[in-house]
Chains A and B, each alone.
Chain A
Amino acid sequence: MSRNIAAFLLVCIGVVMFLAIAELPLYGSPDTPVQNYVAERYIDGALSDTGALNMVASIVIDYRAYDTLIETTVLFTSIIAVFLVLKKGIN
Chain B
Amino acid sequence: MSDFVLKRVVALLLPFVQMFGLYVIFHGHLSPGGSFSGGIIVGLGMIAFSLVFGLEKGSEKLTERTTTLIESFGTLWYGAMGLVGVLRGSSFLMNKGSGVPLGEPGKLYSGGLILLITLGVGLKVASTMVTLFNALMEEED
Interface residue ranges, A against B (CB under 8 Å): 47, 49-54, 56-58, 60-62, 65-66, 68-69, 72-73, 75-76, 78-79, 82-83, 86-88
Q: Chain A nearest CB: distance from B71 CB in Å? A: 6
Binding site for A on B (CB under 8 A): 28-32, 34-35, 71-72, 74-75, 78-79, 82, 93, 95-96, 102-106, 110-114, 117-118, 121, 124-125, 128, 131-132, 135-136, 138-139
User: Would you call A52 and B82 a contact (CB within 8 A)?
Assistant: no
Q: What chain B residues lie within 8 Å of A62 (beta carbons)?
A: 95, 111, 113-114
Selected contact of B29 from candidates A57, A78, A87, CB within 8 Å: A57
Q: Which B residue's beta carbon lies closest to that of A80? A: B71
Interface of A is mostly: helix
CB pair B124 A58 closer than 8 Å: no
List, sorted by A's number, 30 A–B pairs whose CB atoms are closer than 8 Å.
Answer: A50-B96, A50-B112, A51-B103, A51-B111, A52-B105, A52-B111, A53-B110, A54-B29, A54-B34, A57-B34, A61-B118, A62-B111, A62-B113, A66-B93, A68-B117, A69-B78, A69-B93, A72-B74, A72-B75, A72-B78, A72-B121, A73-B75, A75-B125, A75-B128, A76-B72, A76-B75, A79-B132, A82-B131, A82-B135, A87-B138
